[in-house]
Amino acid sequence: MPAVLGIEVKLDPKWSIVSTPLFEAYWFTDGLNSGRRDELYSVDVGLRYSFASNLSLTNTVLYEGRTSNVAIRHYRDLRIGPRLDFAF
């Protein structure tokens, strides 16, 4: 059950502030993970520069976390860095 919301606020034709909140839930019903329930959530915020309509560079800060009823599946992650995006 994923839920994603892409947000973009244009500052001018080349620069934008972007964010992508995400929530996913997994319920495992059979196999080795039977009964396991995970929730994954993340949010990032970044500044995007568009070189062209199909090429942009985004510098973002991303926080991601997973909770689970299986203790070893919990984690938190913080990533900071650039991303080059192509569209064809």
Whole-angstrom Cα distance, residue 61 to residue 21?
12
Instruction: Please give the Cα distance from 45 to 30 (Å, whole number).
Output: 37
Token duo for residue 32: 């080795």
Considering only CA atoms, which of 37, 10, 41 is closest in space to residue 26?
37
For the chain, the domains span 2-86
Q: What is the tens place of the pLDDT at every residue in 11-39?
A: 999 999 999 999 999 999 988 889 999 99
On whether the pTM is more than 0.95, the answer is no
